Amino acid sequence: MVQIVPTVRVIARLNPEDLERWREVHSRAEAFRLNPRVFTKEESINAIRAEMDFLGYIWTYYEVGADDNWFVSASTGAITVEF
């Protein structure tokens, strides 16, 4: 059996200000995903909405392709695309 290994390429990096903002937004959303019962409904909606808004900002500002399978690292700020 042939196993296909995806290729990942770094296409951009968040600037320092955006990286700090992404860490804040992403960590709040990740905390909700890991333990949703400690958040109110409003806090849950706000955490996910803030993450979606910032991903939209990244998509626009860093010109990430709409059809690309992309990921943003909260530790390095690297925006990677999987082929």
pLDDT tens digits along 22-77: 999 999 999 999 999 999 999 999 999 999 999 999 999 999 988 889 999 999 99
Q: How confident is the model at residue 11 (pLDDT cuts 50, 70, 90)?
A: very high
- The tally of domains found in the chain comes to 1
Of 2, 31, 14, the closest CA to residue 70 belongs to: 14
Distances (CA, A) of 2 to 5, 6, 7, 52: 10, 13, 15, 36
- Tell me whether residue 12 is in a domain: yes
pTM score: 0.84
State which residues form the domain around 31.
8-82
| The pLDDT of residue 70 | 93
1 within domain boundaries: no
Decide if 45 is inside a domain. yes
